[in-house]
Each structure stands twice: as structure tokens, then as C-alpha cells.
Amino acid sequence: MTFLSKILREPLVHFVIIGAAVFGLYALMAGGNQDEPRDKIVVTEGRIEQLAQVFAKTWQRPPTREELRGLIDTYIKEEVYYREALKLGLDRDDTLIRRRMQQKMEFVTEPGDALLRADDAALQAFLDAHKADFRVEPRIAFDQIFLNPEKLGEAAIARAEQTLEILKASAPGEIPPDVGDPTLLPARMPLSPLSGIASNFGATFAANLTDLPENEWAGPIKSPYGLHLVRVTKRIDGYDPKLAEVRDAVEQKWRTEKRDEFRDQAYDQLLAKYEVILPSGKAVSPESEAAP
Amino acid sequence: MPHYVSSTFAAALMLVASTSFVAAQDSGMLTPEEAAKLYPGKPLYSRYAGRDFPTRPFFGDTHLHTSFSMDAGAFGARLGPRDAYRFARGEQVTSSSGQPVKLSRPLDFLVVADHSDNMGFFPDLLAGKPEVLADPTGKKWYDMIQSGKGEEAALEIIGAFSHNKFPDDLMYLPGTSAYKSAWQKTIDAAEEFNDPGRFTAFIGYEWTSNTGGNNLHRNVIFRDNGVKASQVVPMTVYPPNGSDNPEDLWKWMTAYEEKTGGSVLAIAHNGNLSNGLMFPVVEAFGKKLDSEYAKTRAKWERLYETTQTKGTGEAHPYLSPNDEFADFEIWDKGNLDGSVAKKKDMLQFEYARQALKNGLKLEQELGTNPYKFGLIGSSDAHTGLAAMQEDNFFGKTTPQEPGPERMKKAFFDNPETGVKVMDWEVGASGYAAVWATENTRESIWDAMQRKETYATTGPRMIVRFFGGWDFEPRDAEDRLPAHTGYSKGVPMGGDLGAAPKGKAPTFLVAALKDPIGANLDRYQIVKGWLDANGELHEKVYDVVWSGDRKPGDDGKVPPVGNTVDVANATWTNTIGAPELIKVWTDPDFNPAQPAFYYGRVLEIPKPRWTAYDAKFYGTTPLPGTTMTLQDRAYTSPIWYTPKG
């Protein structure tokens, strides 16, 4: 309800509310006649059961007799106000209610589960048409030694080269413990997609990894943090996956598109019932513009 | 289903056994003994083996609204929970204002937390009632669905809608989409997008207690899947089902856990708009605070959302006059709807630092510290878009999505009370960072429960904060600081335990800048403590900073400088440092005094979102508009409690 009060301060809303209140007061005074037939509010067993169910689902216990009475009274009150408000046309020209109604219609016309089930053929066709979206990125695993940039400049390059020699001389597969500077960056990066490496070490660093030899210390490579000596330990090229490998992801994307399609279709069907007239006086018929 | 391989560190994380965290969750606090169990420090030759501690933080938003929230929908939000999850995991979507938008990098997790009031819970209960099926058309459709012809039925139903032939009673036919409540749709969306190891979609909602315009809102987050969550409907505020008293929300949480065996936690936010009600010390809802209140609150509310679009609530300049960085994205004009103006004496019950201090005192009186919370940030955006980067900020509500005029309007303006907040005051903040071992609901939720979290006001800097009794300066020279941190101390959110004789607490602190963000200015430790006279104190220590700045006579390190070119909305990383590491010992420690310590990491100054807007749209900002800022991170505290 955070912004309700903001809406309530719109001058137009004021106008509508004051107008409605005056009208309502008049209606009340004029309609206080006991002889007029009274509308019925019928509270069915089903309704009471429903009220009790919502309570039980909130509190994990059925309502007491008193609480149930309270639920029913509240329901009756809501119904009275709801009906009276409708009679006064308070639902009209109310942005909040109009948008809520639109949302309800969209809810109701959303395709059910049955419509959103795809067979393999449909998914395969979708995958073929959207290859780039599902391409598996190249993945690289590497070790890295960090050199702090506080000592950048020529000395840093010399230090990097020196360190590289030490690393090259060390046993394969190991990282000598006393080389390099402390960092929160991982010293040993498991097989990770390039985008994942980029989000930790920066995009330029990740791009530079692709050309490095395997199982050999190399560098220095620059990152936003400083210099790194890097040993690529494994590299797997990117590829276009088979459907079985990415079925869930393909299905999800297919469903998303299907839903959008359906929503647009449902709207077009509704729109087709109207002749929309723009202020210029020019009629925009649904056939010429909105129909698929 | 799960695609473990593609998460950055997931291959390593797959090796990790996460069951050990359950123990920590049950006991509630992370003592050194428990930490030792969790992070065995026994030396192994290969220090890369056996690392079952979190190696990276996961970034996410625990507080995002979509069109399912009534206010968001009323303001034109068109994106629902599904769109929100797609956007958070890195896809490009079209915003409600029709603009294409994408995050610079995917988030790791998201909680869609729509307001529970007016969300719409009734349909699925109404459905299946005999009267619904009494209509012959309804019966026909129902039978079609039951016999597997759902697709045909759905087409007929839509056709009927568009020709006004839809019987009123059939609005909620079982098997149609409308049959499902908004809550069930929320759950379904989270289930569909939850992708363990790659992206976590939490089930959650916001309970929006707002009586008199005073904000006592809480977000409720489920550790569980849809099977458990759909056994309940969310707690609401409006009577007779709902209540505006947090104690009733805690009852709801208790009932949920008892019924389903599941787990939920609640995160409060915007104490700054509660007008003195968020962190009470005397009474709440007319009842004197007692040990039960303290225990219950501490049990359910382990975290506090300390920064978001409607202001940052870590500290207030009035409460912390000696903290020159306290005046950051402050909203202190009134309550949430501007109906009551702020009075200075309300502030002490609204801000996280003061609540952490008051908690120390309340623990003495009530036996439990009700305010022993960790810190996170989140967006509270009502757009379905968790876009909180200064140069990619998509606003708090749909009308505040990027546009030439968005920094010129009033967010709220109450002429009667004089409370007016401008749209430019809305902050591009923040995110929650969670030190979890795996990107799963269970692992991230457990880490939240043990408070191993920190808040950021937008950037994704990596922040470590370890406390213990034995850290030495050379631990900061270790190439694997986290390994040392977990071996010799407790992480953020933990407890120091008893003080060994003659020792003072030591802290290993480290921060790494966001790889696409600004360099770091300094890492500070904020300490709060209670003295023997019952007086509360606080002090901010500069612990490690960039360059060769020397602290002044007051002990404070001078400003880092400023490279911001506001007109062009640019800055350079020619000042500051990409990484800060240091070991710090409390110079003023008194073992008889309860205390807490938390880390605050400041970036160098950079353009605020208003500067990017002014540059992009050529808008002239209103006088007084803040155009630069130092984004920052706040860690969860580590507490010290004297044995007594």
C-alpha cells in the first residue's frame, strides 16, 4: 500500500471522490425510504467455508466461533461497501482499479499448463532457431599468482618476469607457497565459463586467457586489480549443445515466448471487439492495425 | 536439471559437504568452537584441499516487487515474477516503460517479495466448489481438462472471454490459469526459475505493517520448496485474518514451521520511516518489552535490511556526530506516507548502529539481545527489475524508470506536515551479499540465518571480516587470507567467545573492489560497546586505506580525493586501491564490556545515478541534488560478550 496515499493526493482523484461523496450522501438521504425493496446479501455455506479455509491456511488452525463470526461480518461489510461503491461508479476513472482489472484479465487469459507443454520436435526446432542463445561458452581452469599494483611500473614488470622464472622452475601442478602477494581472488580457478571468469577478474583478463598455452606459467596478464601470472590447466572449447543437454533451459525459453504470444493473441481478440477512435477523428479499425 | 558446471566456482563447491551448517543454524550463533567444526583448521599439506568454507559471496536481492504487488501494479508495473527472475539471472527484458534493460552481470539469487495484502489468495480455494461446476459450459470444460484436452479447453475459454460469453461462476475453473491464486503463481515462478548451482529463486513475500504510515515491514523468506510453501497463505496485515503487530507475524512463522517442518526467516527494513517504532527499547504495541519478546525477535529476525532505494539506515549524523561518513543517502523527514514529520528523538529507534548498541543494553535487562542482527542490502524496487547500479538504475517505481524528468518530481509531498521527499533522493541501492558454500536455497538461507552476510549500496565488492584472538600482522601477508580467517577466527555474524587473559580482539579484514567498479578508499571498523555505568558508546576506526595518507591528530585518515567529472558523469581509478588487507587489534578493549564490531568499506567518490541521468538526458538537476557519492559495504557484526 506504499503508494496508495500518493494516488489519493491526485487532484483528479479528489474531485472524483468529493463528487461521489456528494452524490452518495444525496442518494442515502433520498433512498432512506423503508418501503423500497432491499437488495439481498446471501452468505452461502460455500462462502463461509472459504472464509474459514483462508483463515486456516494463514494460521494453521480453524477459526473459533467468534473469529468466524468476525470473518463473516467483515465479509458482509466489504460486500455492502463494494456494491454501494459500484452503484456510485467509484470503480470508474480509478487508475488503481483499472490496472487491477487489466491484470486480472491477463491472469485469467494466461494459457494453462496444457498449452505450455512442448514435444521434442517443437523444442528441437526452437533450439535450432535460437542456437546462439544456448551455445555453451568456452570454459577454462587456471592457477594464478597475484602481484600487487602498488609496485607497478618497470619494477613491477621486472618482478613479474623474475617470479615467472621461479614458477617455471617449480614442480608441475603445484603452486609454490611463498610467491606473489595476498589477494581475495582465488588462486586456483576451477573449470569456469569465460563470463564467470570475467565477472571475477574483468573482461580483458578473461579474453587474454584464451590464447595462453596449457600447463605452462605465462603472463603477466593485467586485471583491474593488478598483474597476474597464469597457468591454464584445462580448456574446453565452446559448442552447440544437443537438446538433451539443455532441454530444461530450451523449454523454459519456449514457454516464455509462447506465453507472450498467447497474451498478445488474447489481447488482439479483445481489441477486435472495439472500434478505437482517436482524437483526430480518424477511426483505427482493428482489422487494419491490430490484427495479426 | 541443475547445471553445476557453469557457475564460476561451482566445480569446487560441488566437492563441499554442506550438512555441517545445519548445526550452526540450530544453535543460532557461531562460536569459535562451532566455527572450528565448520572450518577445520588442521593443517593439510595442500591448502586447497578440504576447503569447505565459502570461497565467494553470492549477490542477490531479497526484496523485489513485481506487478503482483498492488501498489506496483497501480503505478504501471507490467513485469511479473517470471520476468523478474529472468532479468535477475542476466536476460534482457523490456521494462514496464517499454525500455530494453539488462544487468551488467547476472545476480546469483532473487527473492520476489510482493505485498501479501491484496495479493489475491482466494481463487484456488473457491475453485472446485460444486456451484462452479453446476454450469453446463463449465462442466464441459472441466471434463475436457480432466480427459487431457486442456489445450482445446484453454482455447475455448479464451474465445469465450473475448465474446463476453464467460459465465461469472467459472472465472476460477480448475485447470485454467485463473484457478491459481497470485500466491501460487508466485511459488510456481520461483520453482520454475530455481536452478541449484546456478541461480537461486527463493519463495517469499512482504508483510506490510504500516499503521499510521509507520513502516514496520518485514520480508519473509522460505528455505523450502513449493510443496511446503503452498500449504499456507502469507500473513497479511488487514484484519480479521491479518495483524499489524510483528509478534503476530512471528506466530505465523511458528505455525508454518510446526505445520510443514519448513524454515522461514524475516528481514525488517526502513526503520528510517517507522518514526521511532522499528527498534523499541521500552515497549511495543502497548506492551512492555520482556524476555519473551527479545528471544522471539532474535529467533526470527537474524538480519536487517540496512540500505535500499528509500534510504540507507546504518547510521544517522545526529546519532553519530563524529562519523563524517554517516550522512549517506539519509531519509529522515517523516514516516512512510509523510503523514507525521520526524522528531529528533525518534532517530535512536530507527538506525541499525544505534539498535545494535541498544541491543547490548537490552541483553543485560532481558537476558537476550533482541537486536543481534546481521546486515544486508536490497532494492525494494517496484518494477520487477533489481537494477541498482549507478549507471544502470531503473528506479524504484515504474514512473521512476529512466526518463528526462525522473529526477525532478516529488516522491511524496504532504503540505500539511511539510514532509517532502524528492525523486532524486531515491538511491540506487542495494544488494545482499551472502557467504554461502553453494548457490542453492538451502546453502544461501543457512548463511543468512548464521548472518554471514554483508550489505552493499550497489557495487559488488568482495568483503571479508574475521574476528579472533590470535590474528597477527603477518596473517595479512598470507596469500590465502580466507583460509587463515576461518582457521583462526569466526567470520562476520559470529561471536568472539570468551576473552583469553590479557588478550584483545584481533580482526583480519580484506576487501576487493568490484571488477567493473570504483577503487576502494578505506576499510573501517565500527565498534559499539556498553560501559560499567550502563552508557553506550561507539567509535569508527580507520583500519586500512589506499595510498600513503597519514591519519590526522584526531586519528582520522584524510579524504581520498575526488576524480569525478559531474558534467560528463565520469571518474578515474587513479586514486584509491583495488584491494585492502590488514590485521587490526582493538586498542581500547575492556574484557568486562560487551561490544560489537562491524566492517564498513568505502569506495572512492563516483558519479551518482543523478549525474548519469543529467548527462544522458541533458536534464538540469534541481538545486541541492546530490550528484556524487561513495558507495559502500557494511558487514554483519561480530559480537563480544563477557562471561558472567
- pLDDT value, residue B71: 85
Give the cell for residue B373.
542482527
Distance, CA of B303 to chain centre: 8
**Mean pLDDT across B275-289:** 95
Chain A: residue whose CA lies nearest to B185: A107
Rounded Cα–Cα distance for residues B173 and B152 (Å): 14
Tell me how far CA of residue B23 lies from CA of B19, B87, B297, B450, B503, in angstroms: 8, 35, 20, 10, 29
Rounded Cα–Cα distance for residues A42 and A181 (Å): 78
Residue B9's Cβ-count burial label (10 Å; 0-12, 13-18, 19+) is: buried
pLDDT tens-digit map of A140-158: 999 999 988 765 567 778 8
CA atoms within 13 A on the CB side of A215: 4
Whether residue A5 lies within 8 A of chain B, CB to CB, comes out as yes
Work out the minimum CA distance from B526 to partner chain A, whole angstroms: 22
Rounded Cα–Cα distance for residues A77 and A113 (Å): 37
Work out the minimum CA distance from A95 to partner chain B, whole angstroms: 6
**Mean pLDDT across B237-266:** 94
Asked if the model's pLDDT at residue B40 lies above 50, the reply is no
- pLDDT value, residue A262: 87
Among candidate residues B321, B328, B338, B323, the one with its CA nearest the CA of residue B306 = B328
Whether residue A177 lies within 8 A of chain B, CB to CB, comes out as yes
Residues 77-116 of A with CB under 8 A from B: 95-96, 99-100, 103, 105, 107-115
CB atoms within 10 A of CB B185: 20
pLDDT tens-digit map of B548-579: 999 999 999 999 999 999 999 999 999 999 99
Amino acid, single-letter form, for residue B351: Y
Judged by DSSP in three states, B536 sits in strand
- pLDDT value, residue B27: 36
- In what helix (H) or strand (E) does residue B284 lie, and over which residues does it extend? strand B283-284
Q: Residue A225: list chain B partners with CB under 8 A.
A: 512-513, 515, 578-579
Rounded Cα–Cα distance for residues B191 and A272 (Å): 36
DSSP label at B47? T
Among candidate residues B466, B452, B453, the one with its CA nearest the CA of residue B507 = B466
Q: Residue A9: list chain B partners with CB under 8 A.
A: 413-414
pLDDT tens-digit map of A51-66: 888 899 889 999 999 9
Amino acid, single-letter form, for residue A27: A
Judged by DSSP in three states, B538 sits in strand
Among candidate residues A263, A91, A95, the one with its CA nearest the CA of residue B77 = A95
Whether residue A204 lies within 8 A of chain B, CB to CB, comes out as no
Give the cell for residue B479.
596469500
Asked if the model's pLDDT at residue A256 lies above 80, the reply is yes
Give the cell for residue B112.
520476489
Rounded Cα–Cα distance for residues B568 and B604 (Å): 17
DSSP code per residue over B52-108: -S--SPEEEEEEE--TTSHHHHHTT----HHHHHHHHTT--EE-TTS-EE--SS--S
Work out the minimum CA distance from A33 to partner chain B, whole angstroms: 32
Bond into B623 cis (ω within 30)? no
- Phi/psi region, residue A146 (left: phi>0; alpha: psi -120 to 50; beta: rest), is beta
Nearest-CB residue to B5 (from A114, A191, A223): A191
**Mean pLDDT across B301-327:** 97
Residue keyed to cell 571468469: A197
Task: Please judge whether B579 and A225 are an interchain contact, meaning their C-beta atoms are less than 8 angstroms apart.
Answer: yes
CA atoms within 13 A on the CB side of A20: 17
Task: Please judge whether A3 and B74 are an interchain contact, meaning their C-beta atoms are less than 8 angstroms apart.
Answer: yes
The ipTM of this complex is 0.80
Q: Residue A109: list chain B partners with CB under 8 A.
A: 158, 161, 177
Rounded Cα–Cα distance for residues B318 and B311 (Å): 16
Percent of chain B with pLDDT over 70: 83
Work out the minimum CA distance from B579 to partner chain A, whole angstroms: 7
Q: Which residue has the higher pLDDT, B385 or B183?
A: B385
Q: Which residue has the higher pLDDT, B425 or A177?
A: B425
- Phi/psi region, residue B222 (left: phi>0; alpha: psi -120 to 50; beta: rest), is beta
Q: Which of A189-198, A227-236, B446-455 is modeled with the greatest confidence?
A: B446-455
Question: Phi/psi at A126 (nearest 5 deg)?
Answer: -65, -45
Contact B588, B531 (CB under 8 A): no
Task: Please judge whether A200 and B76 are an interchain contact, meaning their C-beta atoms are less than 8 angstroms apart.
Answer: no
pLDDT tens-digit map of B9-25: 333 333 333 333 333 33
Residue keyed to cell 587474454: A208
Amino acid, single-letter form, for residue A81: Y
Asked if the model's pLDDT at residue B376 lies above 70, the reply is yes
User: Which residues lie closer than 8 Å to A22 by C-beta, 6 or more apart?
Assistant: none
Rounded Cα–Cα distance for residues B458 and B399 (Å): 21
Asked if the model's pLDDT at residue B365 lies above 60, the reply is yes
Partners of residue B536 on adjacent β-strands:
B530
Rounded Cα–Cα distance for residues A157 and A151 (Å): 9
Count A/B contacts: CB-CB distance under 8 Å.
Answer: 232
Give the cell for residue B476.
595479512
Residue among A3, A45, A97 with most chain B CBs within 10 A, to mutate: A3
Give the cell for residue B197.
548451482
Residue A188's Cβ-count burial label (10 Å; 0-12, 13-18, 19+) is: middle
Whether residue A266 lies within 8 A of chain B, CB to CB, comes out as yes
Among candidate residues B592, B631, B624, the one with its CA nearest the CA of residue B609 = B631
Judged by DSSP in three states, A247 sits in helix
Pure H helices in B450-557: 481-488
Task: Please judge whether B240 and A192 are an interchain contact, meaning their C-beta atoms are less than 8 angstroms apart.
Answer: no
DSSP label at B619? P
- pLDDT value, residue B51: 56
**Mean pLDDT across B24-32:** 45
DSSP label at B164? T
Nearest-CB residue to A182 (from B82, B382, B478): B478
Residue A280's Cβ-count burial label (10 Å; 0-12, 13-18, 19+) is: exposed
Asked if the model's pLDDT at residue B38 lies above 90, the reply is no
Rounded Cα–Cα distance for residues A275 and A270 (Å): 11
Asked if the model's pLDDT at residue B420 lies above 90, the reply is yes
Residue keyed to cell 573501517: B524
CB atoms within 10 A of CB B91: 15
Average pLDDT value for chain B: 88
Among candidate residues B1, B386, B377, B367, the one with its CA nearest the CA of residue B219 = B377
Among A42-46, B109-113, B558-562, B567-571, whose mean pLDDT is lowest? A42-46
Residue A14's Cβ-count burial label (10 Å; 0-12, 13-18, 19+) is: exposed
Asked if the model's pLDDT at residue B195 lies above 50, the reply is yes
Q: What is the signed CA dihedral for B40, B46, B49, B54, rounded to 10 degrees?
A: 70
Rounded Cα–Cα distance for residues B112 and B221 (Å): 9
Nearest-CB residue to B150 (from A114, A148, A187): A114
pLDDT tens-digit map of B424-483: 999 999 999 999 999 999 999 999 999 999 999 999 999 999 999 999 999 998 877 888
Pure H helices in B261-318: 291-300
Contact B592, B530 (CB under 8 A): no
Whether residue A155 lies within 8 A of chain B, CB to CB, comes out as no
Q: What is the pTM of this model?
A: 0.86
Q: Residue B162: list chain A partners with CB under 8 A.
A: 266, 269-270, 272-273
- In what helix (H) or strand (E) does residue B206 lie, and over which residues does it extend? strand B200-207
Counting every residue, how long is chain B?
Answer: 644
Tell me how far CA of residue B248 lies from CA of A73, B214, B235, B287, in angstroms: 22, 17, 9, 13
Partners of residue B100 on adjacent β-strands:
B94
**Mean pLDDT across B624-632:** 97
Rounded Cα–Cα distance for residues B211 and B246 (Å): 12
Give the cell for residue B584.
587490526
**Mode of pairing for the β-strands spanning B58-64 and B93-94:** unpaired
Work out the minimum CA distance from A105 to partner chain B, whole angstroms: 9
Give the cell for residue B168.
461469472
